[in-house]
A and B are shown apart, each in its own frame.
Chain A
Amino acid sequence: MAGQEHRRGRNWAEWAQNRWVWAGFAMPGIIWLSLLFLVPFYTVLAIAGGQLNAIFQSPEPVWNPLHWTGANFAAVFHDLFGQASFVLPIFFRTLGYVAIASVLSLLIAYPAAYFVTRFAGRRKLLFLALLIAPFWISYMMRMLAWIDLLQTNGYVNRALLDLHLISQPVNWLGGKPATVILGLVYGYIPYLILVLYAGLDRIDQRLLEAGRDLGLNRAQTFLRVTLPLSRQAVLTGMLITALPMMGDYFTNQLLSGASSTAMIGNVIDGQLNTSSQEAQGAVLALLLLVFLLVPMLYYVAKTRRTTVEAF
């Protein structure tokens, strides 16, 4: 019997070590990611390093990296830093909008998530459902809702008029930075709240108890125990909302449409719609990717830790 069990044990060991089985499992995904994630980025490089077809005014990819030229990069650098530079101000505006929207989101999301994890008690499930609900509502629906409310004769203007806060209806949808920032906050806050909720909910309540036992009051417990323990959730939550905000073009387009509030995403999107500028769009997308690489890699490292190192 012992021998048989030994055989079975070895069987398992053999079979767990048989890498080809697992390679077979992973292979469809690996091939898919190679062809439809890595190759596309090489295509972007080939176009960015390529040239403009003189006759058709369309981009011509150059697949051999040794033959890449800097023509498209030069054009973009001219847009960025040249005399008639129009991209750089837009880039800084994007950074400003994203920074304000991220901080506002955090200031709104943190107290709400904190309340639900700590104080909701028996109503926790109800609150959680309400917090998660916007996550399931499409972004377009949420923008459409604000387009309805912010129209010249919409509810926001009527409420403000009734309260005598304004004497004339405000054209909220006519290129107001505040409207765009509101849209960004409203659009991305559900993702931040989910991350914060999960992070705060995971904090061991006994630590808070210990803090209170050692003489901290409520505010001190929060500042010295809860806040440091939720730092990771705050960081990843801010990243998971700020990264897509950097590539956002639809919020501005829907809620403002004016070039005075254009973001970097609008520039890239606009260049993709003009054949002769497609290559510059590719360069800008690459530059944006490089700019965001550090926060992205930070996030990837943090995520890998939770899915690999638990072994």
Chain B
Amino acid sequence: MALTTEVAPPSVRTRGDEPPSRTPPTGSRRKWQPPWRNPWRRPWILEGFTWLYLIWSIVPIGIAVLFSFNNGKSQSVWQGFSTRWYWGDPVNSVWHDPALRSAVYQTIRLSVLTTIVAVPIGVAFAIGINRWRTRTSTTFHFVMVFSYVIPELIFGVAMFFLFTQLFTFIHLGTAAEVLGLVTWNFSWPAIIVLARLVLIGDSYEEAAADLGASRLQSIRRVLIPMLMPAIFASTVLVFASVVDDFVVVDLLSSTANTQPMSVIIYSTSHGGNGGPALNALATIMLALSFVAATIGLGAYRWMTRGERGNSGQEAMTSIAGM
């Protein structure tokens, strides 16, 4: 994956395979040519394909969100609009069903705790690894990237055995979930901040030192402000990936009240008999992630205002961890 938050390439209009204009540069006197001979034709097939893909990727989600507002038990027959599955229904709504309600709280609890722990450790780790060039730092840089690519199931199995066989004083439940999630998401801030540090280089701090800044001052007033967009992007990413996380929490949760939303959806939607309350739960997850993403996007653009790479594209790709 592209792990550099590098500046977007120059958007110079070129005569590559991008059409500068839709009208063919042929004079009216020139012989008529079939449209497929026109080198500047619009790529209709590609564009149609892309739209088909987008419809396929987004419309099912839209339908699922719609059915969370269905005024009936069906997840496939529309019976009118209602908010009964959110709070109206006295038994089965997200608000009144204790399992669903505690799942919402558990997801928020896990996301906040994990973000608070993982981001500072990850950022400090990145700064340290970037400057402290020894065999130890190289090894742990490797371990960190390794923890990023390892399939989540294998990592989850290792965590499961850690808490059931070795660290048995930490029982499966919220504490184990947070420890597992921090380890699993630790690589986001580390990788993003490392990429940013590579881009920044040493020269700014050197200049600060030349101007008389002390060690602490140059970190606090030069390095950290320059890293702020990267730190912020990774905060948003960690928060959203914990909301969406499933494998680690599935293996490390114990009783019903430590199960977050994703686990509840998984364990009750087999065969499609979960009812629209599940759709409501999933919609709440969706809203949480999107609020995080929107805040992230806005704040990222605000933080990088005046910088060269400040564009909507740069902000969007950075918030998605690219």
Seen from chain A, the residues whose Cβ lies within 8 Å of a Cβ on chain B are 5, 8-9, 11-12, 15-16, 19, 21-30, 32-33, 36-41, 43-44, 46-47, 59, 61, 108, 111-112, 114-116, 118-119, 121, 124-125, 127-151, 153-155, 173, 186, 189-191, 194-195, 197-199, 201-202, 204-209, 211-213, 217-218, 221-222, 226, 233, 236-237, 239-240, 243-244, 246-250, 253-254, 257, 265, 268-269, 272, 278, 281-282, 285, 288-289, 292, 296, 299-300, 303-304, 306-308, 310-311
Contact = CB atoms under 8 A, between A and B. Distances in A.
Interface string B247-290: 10011000000000110011001111010001100110110011
Chain B, interface SS category: helix
Interface stretch (B81-89, B94-102, B141-149, B226-234): B141-149
A245 to B, nearest CB: 8
A184 B195 CA distance: 30
B165 A202 contact: no
Given A237-B1, A272-B157, A289-B150, A139 B9 contact: no
A157 to B, nearest CB: 9
B104 interface: no
Given A33-B186, A250-B250, 13 more contacts: A15-B215, A26-B129, A26-B132, A32-B121, A111-B50, A137-B289, A145-B61, A218-B17, A247-B247, A282-B161, A289-B154, A303-B3, A308-B141
16 contacts: A33-B144, A115-B49, A118-B18, A119-B46, A129-B316, A148-B64, A150-B272, A195-B1, A205-B9, A208-B18, A250-B247, A282-B157, A299-B149, A306-B3, A306-B198, A307-B194
Contacts of A119: 18-19, 42-43, 46-47
Contacts of A205: 9, 12, 14, 16, 18
- Which of B46, B54, B320, B321 is packed against the most chain A CB atoms within 10 Å? B320
A47 B75 contact: no
B160 interface: yes
A30 B9 contact: no
B128 A27 contact: yes
Contacts of B148: 303
B240 interface: yes
Interface of B: 1-4, 6, 8-9, 12, 14-19, 39, 42-43, 46-47, 49-50, 53-54, 57-58, 60-61, 63-64, 67, 75-77, 121-122, 124-125, 127-132, 134, 136-137, 140-155, 157-162, 165-166, 179-180, 182-183, 186, 190-191, 194-195, 198-199, 201-202, 205-206, 209-210, 212, 215, 240, 243-244, 246-247, 250-251, 261-262, 265-266, 269-272, 274, 278-279, 282-283, 285-286, 289-290, 293, 312-313, 316-317, 320-322
Given A23-B132, A144-B278, A134 B58 contact: yes
Given A108-B53, A145-B60, A33 B320 contact: no
A108 B55 CA distance: 13
- Which of A22, A194, A296, A299 is packed against the most chain B CB atoms within 10 Å? A22
A202 B266 contact: no
A212 B15 contact: yes
Contact of A140 (B50, B179, B265): B265
Contacts of A218: 17, 39
Contacts of A29: 121-122, 124-125, 128-129, 140, 144, 186, 190
Given A28-B125, A303-B1, A221 B17 contact: yes
Contacts of A11: 209
A28 B3 CA distance: 23
Contacts of A40: 155, 158-159, 161-162
Nearest to B53: A112
Contact of B124 (A26, A61, A191, A209): A26
B125 A208 contact: no
Given A153-B76, A285-B158, A127 B145 contact: no
Contacts of B47: 115, 119
A240 B157 contact: no
Given A36-B183, A118-B18, A194-B322, A22 B286 contact: no
B17 A30 contact: no
Nearest to B289: A136
A5 B210 contact: yes
A212 B16 contact: yes
Nearest to B197: A307
